[in-house]
Amino acid sequence: MTVAEQEITDYVARVRAALADLPPGQRDELTEDLADHLTEVAAEAEGTLVERLGEPETYAAELRAAAGAAPGSGRNLDQRVASAMARVRGRLRAMDTRLGPPLGYETASDFLRLLRPAWWVLRGYLAAMLVTVITTGGEFGLLPRFGGELLAGLIMLIGFVLGSIWIGRRSAQLTRWPRSVVQVASVVLVVFAFAALIQAEDRMRYGDYGYDQTAVDSQYDRVRDVFVYDSEGRLVENARLFDQNGNPIRLGYPDCSEDAYEKQTLRAYPYCPEQAPFVPRAPGAPLPPVSPTSTSDPTSTPDPSGTPGETGTPLPTGTATGLPPSGTPTPTPTPTPTR
Amino acid sequence: MDTTQLLKGVLDLAVLAVLREEDGYGYDILRRLREAGLEEVGDASVYGTLRRLFAAGLLTTYVVPSESGPHRKYYSLNAAGRDQLTRSGKLWRSFATTMDTLLDDRGVAA
């Protein structure tokens, strides 16, 4: 069907819709030759039919008057709906023929018709995925599972795809009710497919596949604080970490107190001593040595001048604990005088 | 009062008269009417009139195949149509004479 024939068919349909209130016999008598007549008109001059003859509704009114038919003043709702439907159908058909050539086909529907078997296969897959979501309680991947069973899911997939193709090939012979059921089910599946796509898209973008978050860039990404313990198991306060080049190693961030924020500039660990994961084993003896230093530290930490000295204090305690082993050789010389 | 309103009453007569000289198809009849001076006549009016005259048994039709364009449906006057034309023509002439006299007597400019 050429574009001109299409235009004529649409025009006639709209004229007939506008004359819908006439008795069917009279309407047919008036319009049976209209297509032929419009073909003659179209052959006589350039321009679209609407440009040359006006809107089909106007044409119908003039035709009605000239033919001596009753004026169609009282158009009821059905007729208005019918004429609106005819107009919409005409627009769609015009769009169909206009979109066809860019796709390489006469009409867009010619192209879409070729895709129907692909839709049948997709529909079977979507039905299988819908059952997957229902039986597994909302969990789904890319393959269908029946109650979590992959093999059962694949068998179901094959069955559904074959069933969908079977229904698709027979859709023309279906009576009204089964056809409506298939159409409603198809709409449900399309809506489900969109919802599932959106959910899958979200999961991919945020990397949430049900696993714990792992740091890929650096294994220290999740470190918030550093606690240094000496060989006696005592917490070392105001410890500083450096790499082999003397650059300070920066880990974590203080989040326990205002003081800790100030300490952050000095990069002394731990930021938050009270959050230490281990406490000294003997509560009586080792704790007091830690607590005096910790009580003296907070008082000195607010003023920056005190802190350089403070960083030195852990160092002696560290060396002091190391001293006894190194000191033991020195007592050995002392016996020599007695010799 | 405009020509469109007047046309409603006399379009039958005009179409019958145009067909008396020669058979014609829809668009051809429209063109002849316009050439004769009835420029405001519309396609739908002519088509509707032809359908009505045909339904009333005043016209016969035949299709002429065309090599270049679409087939054309020609309308021609039959005996009943010719009778109708004669009667309607007489009626119009007497009506027009009456109107002319009426206007002349009262000094309405032609």
Do A196 and A129 contact (CB within 8 A), yes or no? yes
**Contacts with A60 from chain B: Cβ below 8 Å:** 44
List, in sequence order, every residue forming a beta bridge with A228; answer none if it has no partner: A236
Going by their DSSP bridges, the two strands B72-77 and B24-25 should be labelled as: antiparallel
Question: Do residue A36 and residue B70 have CB atoms under 8 angstroms apart?
Answer: yes
Q: Is A77 on the interface with B (CB under 8 A)?
A: no
- Between positions 211 and 250 of A, the ones with CB within 8 A of B are none
Instruction: Identify the weakest region by mean pLDDT among A103-107, A147-151, B50-54, B86-90.
Output: A147-151
Helix axes A3-18, A24-31, angle to 10 degrees: 150
> Considering CB atoms only, which of B26, B27, B48 is closest to A30?
B48
Element (H, E) at B32: helix B26-35
Instruction: Give residue-wise pLDDT tens across range A7-44.
Output: 888 899 999 888 888 888 888 888 888 888 888 888 77
User: And the tokens for B2?
Assistant: 């405009």
Nearest CB to B52 within list A34, A40, A67: A67
C-alpha closest to that of B48 among A38, A20, A64 = A64
Record: contact A66-B46, CB cut-off 8 A: yes
B34: chain A residues, CB-CB within 8 Å = none
Nearest Cβ partner of A29 from B11, B51, B71? B51
**Confidence (pLDDT) at A64:** 84
pLDDT at A262: 58
Spatial CB neighbours of B20, under 8 Å, sequence gap ≥ 6: B77, B82, B85
Q: Which residues, other chains included, contact A272 with Cβ-Cβ below 8 Å and sequence gap of 6+?
A: A225, A254, A255, A256, A257, A260
- pLDDT tens-place string over residues A170-214: 887 877 888 888 889 999 999 999 988 888 888 777 655 555 444
How far does B44 lie from chain A, in Å, by closest CA? Answer: 5
Domain range list for chain B: 3-105
pTM above 0.90, yes or no: no
A76 or B66: which leads in pLDDT: B66
Other beta carbons less than 10 A from residue B66's beta carbon: 12
* B67 DSSP β-pair partners: none
| A67: closest chain B residue by CA | B48
CA distance B55 to chain A (A): 8
Residue B90 has pLDDT above 90, yes or no: yes
Interface size between A and B, measured as CB pairs under 8 A:
63
Crossing angle of the two packed helices B26-35 and B43-55, in degrees rounded to 10: 120
Query: How is residue B75 annotated by DSSP?
Result: E
Residue for token digits 């938050």? A272
CA distance A292 to B68: 114
Q: Is the pLDDT of residue A287 over 50?
A: no
- What pLDDT does residue A79 have? 67
For residue B55, list chain A residues with Cβ-Cβ distance below 8 A.
29
A39 to chain B, any CB pair closer than 8 A? The answer is yes
CB contact under 8 A, B48 and A60: no
ipTM score assigned to the predicted complex? 0.81
Phi, psi of B17 (to 5 degrees): -65, -40
Q: Is B72 helix (H, G, I), strand (E, B) or coil?
A: strand
**CA angle at A224 for the pair A222 and A229, rounded to the nearest 5°:** 115
Residue B54 vs residues A20, B47, B62: alpha-carbon distances, Å:
22, 11, 12
Predicted local distance difference test score (pLDDT) of residue A232? 83
Q: Which of A37, A41, A66 sits opposite B45 (nearest CB)?
A: A66
* A319 three-class SS: helix
B 73-102 near A (Cβ less than 8 A):
73
Average pLDDT, chain A: 74
Contact B44, A63 (CB under 8 A): yes
CB A240 within 8 A of CB A215: no
* Contact (CB<8Å) B45/A62: yes
The residue ranges of every structural domain in chain A are 3-113, 115-204, 228-321
Q: Which CATH architecture has domain B3-105?
A: Orthogonal Bundle (1.10)
Q: Quick check: A51 contacting B, CB < 8 Å?
A: no
- Assess whether pLDDT exceeds 50 at residue A311: no
